[in-house]
Amino acid sequence: MTIVVGYVPRRDGLAALEAAVAEAVRTCEPLVVVNAGPDGSPRRAALADPRDIDAVCRPLADAGVPHEVRQPARGLAPADELVTAAEACAARLLVIGIRPRRPLGGGTDGTVGEVLRLAGCDVLVVRFPDP
């Protein structure tokens, strides 16, 4: 099976990535990293630049985790991109991050709420620790 992780170049994305890598190492499963912005525009803060992607891939390769990075630009919402990726690779687990002191994904209308509602696999929601 496969693990899919939603990654953004912020602390919540790094927390999700760290949890997903730990699970992939523990279970010897491949990891699909999905980095999707609200409209697929490379100018959006949610989209990682090549340096971010390299920083993500290097530890995965060092840990021997088979991985793939996807940056879809179809204009779909991030939740839809994550669920689509999870369905396409028959994921066992979908990992997403959340910022502290925020309602779960902005209530049921945010990305996290949408992923929880739409995902056909288990979802692990990771909150990064307060500084």
Proportion of the chain above pLDDT 70, given as a percent: 85
Please name every residue paired with 105 in a beta bridge, in sequence order, or none if there are none.
none
Q: What is the pLDDT of residue 25?
A: 94
pLDDT tens sequence across 26-42 = 999 999 999 987 654 55
Residue 97: Cβ within 10 Å count: 26
* pLDDT category of residue 45 using cuts at 50, 70 and 90: low
CB 103 within 8 A of CB 130: no
The closest alpha carbon to 2, from 78, 97, 104, 70, belongs to 70
The closest alpha carbon to 25, from 56, 60, 52, belongs to 60
pLDDT tens sequence across 78-101 = 999 999 999 999 999 999 998 776
Q: What is the pLDDT of residue 19?
A: 95
